[in-house]
Each structure stands twice: as C-alpha cells, then as structure tokens.
Amino acid sequence: MFKMGSLFRSEEMCLAQLYLQSEAAFACVSELGELGLAQFRDLNPDVNAFQRKFVNEVRRCDDMERKLRFLEKEVKKDNLAIDDTGENPPAPLPREMIDMENKFDKLETEMKSVNSNQEALKKNFLELTELKHILRKTQQFFEQTHVPQQYDDETPLIASEFSRSFNRFGVHFFYYRFVAGVLMRDKISAFERVIWRACRGNVFLRYTEIEAELEDPHTGDKVNKYVFIVFFQGDQLKSRIKKICTGFRATLYPCPETPQERREIALGVMTRIEDLQTVLNQTADHRRMVLSQVALNIRVWLIKVRKIKAIYHTLNLFNVNAEKCLIAECWCPVVDIDRIQLALRRGTELSGSSVPSIMQQMQTKENPPTYNQTDKFTSGFQAIIDAFGVSNYREVNPAPFTIITFPFLFAVMFGDMGHGLLMFLFALYLVLKENRYMKHKPEDEIFKMMFDGRYLILLMGLFSIYTGFLYNECFSRSINIFGTSWNFLMEFRLTLDPNKPGVFRGYPYFYGIDPIWQSAENKITVQNSYKMKNAVLMGFAQMIFGLSLAFCNRRHFKDKLTLYCELLPQLLFLCALIGYLCMCILYKWSVWTVAQSNTAPSLLIGLIDMYMLTDPKSNNRVPLYTGQYQVQIFLVIVTVLCVPWMFLSKPYILYKRSNNTQDDICCFSLYDRLITQSMMEAGGLDSQSDDDVAILHHENNDANYGKQEPESFDMSEVIIYQAIHTIEFCLSCISHTASYLRLWALSLAHSELSEVLWSMVMHTGLATSGTSGAILSFFVFWFFSSLTVSILLVMEGLSAFLHAIRLHWVEFQSKFYKGEGYIFSPFSFTLIVEGKVE
C-alpha cells in the first residue's frame, strides 16, 4: 500500500554504498531483488560487457533460458496447458546451477531425439501413404482406355502426337515407359504446362487429386497433393522429365508395370503403414508424457533462471576491491533503509558468511530518481503524468489531483447518462475480472491498454453519468424526473422566453437542466451561453489551482526569489485579467434578472473596453455595476505593473547576489593569505614545510564542503530567459483560457451528434407502427447500437480523452510542473518475472 503523502510528492531518496563479501554477495542481491527497493549504479562504465567478472555465469543462464524456451515452444506446439499456480520461488543458490543445467540439458537432448525420431517416422509414413495412393491411382489410369484426339488451350495436356498415332493402329499408350509421383496442388497447373512445352507435346500426362490431407513431417501442416503419371518414349525425355520433377519438388516413386506386381506391393505397403502407425502412436504418447511433466514445472524453472541471470547481471555492476569485497552503490528510499538492511542481514545468514554486509549513506550532488508509490488504482493516472515527463525529485506530483480532475473534464465533454453507463459497465467488467486477466495477460495491445486503465475508464464513465444527469441527456433524450418549470403548452413553437407572461413559472428546475429545453428551438443558443461561461470558470479554477501547487513547490524548495518575483505577479496578473472576467460572469448571473436581460451589458465588449480604457457610460452603455470604470482602471494598472515585476525583479536580484558572491570569494581568499602569512611570521609554521599549510587549506576546504561553487553569471542569458517566460505567461493567460472553451465545443458536438444519430436512425424504427414497425425496430436497434458504440463511445470518447490530456499537460501542468526528472527503476524480481524489465 502507498501513502498519500508519497503520491503527492515523491519519496525522499538517498545514495547508499554497500560492502558485500564475495560469498554473501549473491544471497544479499537476491534478497534485495525480492524486496525491489534498490536501484544500482554501474561502477564499471568503461569495462566492456564481455570483460566483466560474472560474464560466464550470465552466458550459462542464457543457455538455460534458451533450452527452456525450446521446451516451452514444444509444450505449446502440443497444445498443453502450462501450469501456473502463482508460485514465486526464491532464486536458487549458485551451487544449484549445475543440477539445473544437467536437468535442462537432459530434457533438451531427449526432446530433440524424440523429435528427430518422430520426424523420420512421419517422413516414412508420408512416403508409404503417397506410394499407396500412387499404386491405387495408377491402376485407375491403366484401366482407362479413352484418349482425347484433340488438344487446345482450353483442354488439359493429356495426349501427344505419338500416342494418338499409336492409338490409330490399335496400340495402347500404357505400353510405353512412364514416371509416377506426387506434387503439391498449387504447382500442378504450372507443372503441366512446363512438361508440355519442354517435351514439345511428346508426352502423355494424367493426374488426379488425393482426397485425404497429408501431414508435412517438417512443419506439421496439412497439405493437399496430386498423383501424376507421365508416359514418354526414349531416355532423353526421361532425363528431361526427371529434371522438371526435381525443379518442382515432386516426389517420384517406382511403380511396377504389371497389375499383379502393383497389387503385391500395395498389400506390403498397407502392412507397413499399420505397423508404422502403431510406432507413431507410441512415440506421440511418450512425447506427450515428457512434455506433460515439463508443463508442470517450466514456469517455475523460467522464474528461477531469470532470477539467477538478473542477479549475476547486477553483480556485474559492482566493483571488486583488493580484499575480494564487492562494492555497490544504489539509490533507495530513506523510509525503507531499515528494510534494506534487514534484507542484507538475511542474505548474509543464508550464505553462511561470518562477516556482515555494510550499508552506509553517501553525500552527493546528483539529482536522485523520482519514486512515486502507486497501486493498481493510481497506476493508470500516474502513467498519464509520466507520459508527459517524470516529475523532478520531490516536485509536486499532479497524479492525485488528476484522479478527480481528469475524469471530470472528460465528462464535461462527454456528458450523457446512457453513454457514461455503457462505459462504466465495460470498465466494471474489467475490474471484476481483473484477477483472471492478471494471470493470463491479454495479447491484444489495444485491449491491454484499456485493461491497464480500467479504473480510469471506470471513473470517466461514472463522472459522465453525473454530468449527463446535469445536462439531462440519456442517448440525447431528456428524462422528466422533477417536472418542468415552464408552461410549454402556451408556446406553439416552443421558443422559451421567460419575459413572456405565464411562460416561466417563477422557480428553477430542481437540479440540472429542465427537460423541456430538449424540444425548444432556442435550446442551442441558451446552452451554448451556459456551457461557454462554465468552461471559462472551470479553466480559471484549474489554472489558479496550478499556481497554488507552484506555491507549494517554491515553499518546499525554499525558493523565495521565484515565489515573490515570479509566482506572486503571475497570480495577480491572472486574477486581474481572467479572474475579473469570471467575477463578472458570476455577478451577472446573480444580480441581473431575466427582465433586465435585454439591457444587460456584454461581458466580451466590457473586457475589450477595460483594456481600451473606455468608460461604458461614454458609449451610452449600461455598466455592469456601480464604479465599474474605476475598478477596471485599477486592474489594468495592476496587470501593467506585473509585467516588469516578472521581467526585471528576478534578474536584478540575481545580479546583485552574483556580485556579493564574488566579493565574498575575494575576501575569503585575502583572509586565508593574511592568516597564513601572519602565522609564518610568528613562527607558528615552518616556512620550509608545506605540510602545515596544506593541512590549513584542507581544514578550510572541509569547512566549506557541500557548498556548491558559484557558476559564472551571464546577465544577458538571464534577461533573455526571463523575457521569454514573461511573454509566454502573459500570452498563455489568454490562450489557455480560450483553450478551455474546448469543454463547451466538444460537449456541444457530442450532444448534437447523439441527437442526429437518434433522429435519423432510432426514430425511423420507432415511428413505424404495426408488425413491420416491430421487425424494423429490431434491426434498427442493433444498427443504432453499433453506431453508438463505434462513433459515440469509441471515436467521441477517444477525442474527449485526448482533449482532457491536452488540458492537463499544457494548461494545468505548465503552471507548476517541469517534468525533467528520471524514474526510479529498482532491481526487482517482480518486474523481471512479469517481463516489464529485461
């Protein structure tokens, strides 16, 4: 389980150094792999991979893994189920590797021997089967006496000039020499034409298909073949025909000329086929018995081999000192140091070593990795954040807030109770069946992606049901739950105008949007205004929340300069510009009544007049509130002052700090020289010995250890950098607010597309009465369902999903999130066994 604090901000990390005895190193690394809380660094970056200490052990593990993959392939080839009990065996000790190698080598040798014997038997069985069909088919050829007297491009090439000439004299074609064999079905047409053209028509070819499918002894696939017989005259044609048969990979068999000999050979072939079938069955039973035993243990064997290989691969990252002690460096969470030390102690005890393993923390100026603890619920949301960029070390992690804001913004664009319910039920099925899918990982990449984000889809569907209830839309239809606040019978064309007497009853709908708006002609006009203003309000709220998270970052890192010189003016600028617009929206909704709607001022024109410094009264426009012009002048002054505040204050303070730092360095160097000179004049130091002076300098350096040396200050670079960020923020306040209008646009598009699909498809079936209407409704319903799933759920859902990602990555996270860190990748057997880490 994770702590919410660790999800809000990454775990505090430390760099630790390990001293492991050679005999205990394997067991200690094995225990750390089971724990999965240490990310080891490579202490031999300049050493080739083939020159490391444990390269031979890694090769032995590779060879064992190769043998196991061969056995696994044979098990799957026989359609045997691999036993998966969920057992996670510990890594075997090094002395057990020899027994494992001998066992795997024996199984591989036995399986290869069985395969070679079985392949040879199948090859003999195939040859005998083909010979059986040749003897049977050729007997039918010889019994046939009819020979066609003509040949053209449309008839088979079955006759030759010499055969027709001899038939005229009463001599039958089967008195001539012949060749018989079998050929693949897809090659028979080409074979026929090549034979005819190569022999210039001086052959007689007959062929027929073998009804039963034959098994290829090499691949095990089922193939279809033809039996053919070619009659010819002369040795030259015989040689040419055999070469053509070889080129087409045809198999030739000896066939006796007399019927008596063919019958005797056929009887012998049938006897041999029966005996060979018995031997093949026994061989298959023996093979299946061996593979059944392998299927019971192969998963455990693979886990053991992968663990051993991972341990030796990790040991290759360590350094070996003169005392045969392995030295390692690793990043680990500070909160889990006690667990790591306990794992090292267990490893030392398992190995039987008398010398304990030592772990000590190191001081470093390197940036630690980012480690955010997640579980199956939060991992999908964390993946969205990490896809943009891994957060910096100890930077605020947006994932816990994304759990709520992401499905909510998605639902604003996808609000429909029916569509949300379908999405919720699909995700709920994945959640309820997650144990089955966790054991048997789905191979389809798209389905695997949806399964990994099942909790995200679950919340997206749930929030879509909620927003659909607010919009009062269910497959684009309204549901009348709390009645209506309008007297719609008084309106012939259903153009709802509350200013008309008797139309509006005076009280609002209990919750959400009144269902009567579904039939109103001014529905889009009213809802557009409502959703557009809501999008601006939600966008401002999320951007302000992003700046508040930036405040948490600056306070955590004690960066007061950025807090007062960047964050504070940014907050004032955003509130004076967009915050004032949101205040005007809420004020107009709250104060101005329906009766005053015709004279109500435009918010957009008012915002333009604000920065044009125009008094609303000068253009004969009604002000939104009393003192509007004075308030707007004050806010314009604030926004104008915030720009140089953001642009100049930070570079100026950095410039002054740089000058003070240079003065401090000069004063320290002068003070150091004066102290040394005074001690030498007083006789405290031997002028001929430099050791004491070196010791003095060393003590002074130790006093300043950990203080980072000042870098060269480039004022022009700082000014350019600050100018770019100031301009970017000022422009983004407008562009990001406008970007949130996509919430309104996609909500409108989804609503209108749903309504079009209902009116043009489903309404057609429901509008037809009688038996034909019932039948038509049945087919229309399934057509409507398929379009709903493919277009409204999949395509529209994916569109809203991508837009929600954009709003989080750009508009929200740009206010506080850098995403320039690197993820914590611990040495973990769990990740290795699951195949997430090589």
From 87-101, 142-156, 712-726, the region with the lowest mean pLDDT:
142-156
> Residue 775 pLDDT more than 80?
yes
Cβ–Cβ under 8 Å, residues 61 and 308: yes
Closest listed residue to residue 530, CA positions, set 585, 596, 451: 585
Cβ–Cβ under 8 Å, residues 388 and 819: yes
The tokens describing 164, both together, are 């027709």
Cβ–Cβ under 8 Å, residues 265 and 135: yes
Domains annotated for the chain, with CATH where assigned, are 13-114+283-362 (no CATH), 122-144+174-277 (3.30.70.2750), 414-482+508-518 (no CATH)
Closest listed residue to residue 646, CA positions, set 704, 579, 562, 708: 562
> Residue 172 pLDDT more than 50?
no
From 283-292, 629-638, 686-695, the region with the lowest mean pLDDT:
686-695
Q: What is the mean pLDDT of residues 582-587?
A: 94
Who has greater pLDDT, 151 or 638?
A: 638
pLDDT value of position 147: 42
Band (291; pLDDT cuts 50, 70, 90)? very high
Say if residue 536 is exposed, middle or buried (CB neighbours under 10 Å; 0-12, 13-18, 19+): buried
pLDDT value of position 742: 95
pLDDT value of position 830: 87
Angle at 578 (CA atoms; ends 609, 401), nearest 5 degrees? 170
The tokens describing 522, both together, are 């001014």
pLDDT value of position 6: 66
Judged by DSSP in three states, 206 sits in strand
Pairing of strands 325-333, 13-21: antiparallel
Judged by DSSP in three states, 222 sits in strand
> Residue 691 pLDDT more than 50?
no
Q: What is the mean pLDDT of residues 141-147?
A: 58
Closest listed residue to residue 125, CA positions, set 24, 265, 272: 272
Range among 95-109, 189-203, 428-442, 708-722 with highest mean pLDDT value: 95-109
DSSP one-letter string for 323-392 = TSEEEEEEEEEGGGHHHHHHHHHHHHHHHT-SSPPEEEEE---SPPPB-----TTTHHHHHHHHHH-PPP
pLDDT value of position 216: 85
Residues β-bridged to residue 204: 231
- % of the chain surpassing 70 pLDDT: 87
> Residue 39 pLDDT more than 90?
yes
From 228-232, 312-316, 832-836, the region with the lowest mean pLDDT:
832-836
Mean model confidence pLDDT for the chain: 84
Max alpha carbon distance in the chain (Å)?
142
- % of the chain surpassing 90 pLDDT: 50
Pairing of strands 204-209, 177-184: unpaired
> Residue 289 pLDDT more than 80?
yes
> Residue 670 pLDDT more than 90?
no
Q: What is the mean pLDDT of residues 266-271?
A: 89
Q: What is the mean pLDDT of residues 33-42?
A: 94
How far apart are the C-alpha atoms of 342 and 336, rounded to whole Å? 10
Range among 97-111, 615-629, 821-835 with highest mean pLDDT value: 97-111
pTM over 0.85: no
> Residue 573 pLDDT more than 80?
yes
From 117-131, 232-246, 253-267, 693-707, the region with the lowest mean pLDDT:
693-707
Closest listed residue to residue 326, CA positions, set 14, 57, 50, 28: 28
> Residue 217 pLDDT more than 90?
no
Q: What is the pLDDT of residues 525-556, one digit of tens each?
A: 888 889 999 999 999 999 999 999 999 999 99
Who has greater pLDDT, 480 or 428?
A: 428
From 70-74, 383-387, 614-618, the region with the lowest mean pLDDT:
614-618
The tokens describing 256, both together, are 């006796």
> Residue 713 pLDDT more than 80?
no
Cβ–Cβ under 8 Å, residues 509 and 725: no
Band (671; pLDDT cuts 50, 70, 90)? very low
Who has greater pLDDT, 168 or 107?
A: 107
CA distances (Å), origin 832, targets 33, 262, 442, 708, 837 = 9, 63, 18, 39, 5
> Residue 298 pLDDT more than 50?
yes
pLDDT value of position 158: 43
pLDDT value of position 680: 55
The tokens describing 231, both together, are 């009659």
pLDDT value of position 702: 39
pLDDT value of position 166: 40
DSSP one-letter string for 241-291 = HHHHHHHTTPEEE---SSHHHHHHHHHHHHHHHHHHHHHHHHHHHHHHHHH
How far apart are the C-alpha atoms of 472 and 157, rounded to whole Å? 77
Q: What is the mean pLDDT of residues 415-428?
A: 95
Containing H/E element for 406? Answer: helix 399-414
Q: What is the mean pLDDT of residues 373-388?
A: 92
Band (400; pLDDT cuts 50, 70, 90)? very high
DSSP 8-state code for residue 396: B
Q: What is the mean pLDDT of residues 756-766?
A: 85
> Residue 169 pLDDT more than 90?
no
Within 13 Å of residue 68, how many CA atoms lie on the same side as its CB? Answer: 23
Band (677; pLDDT cuts 50, 70, 90)? low
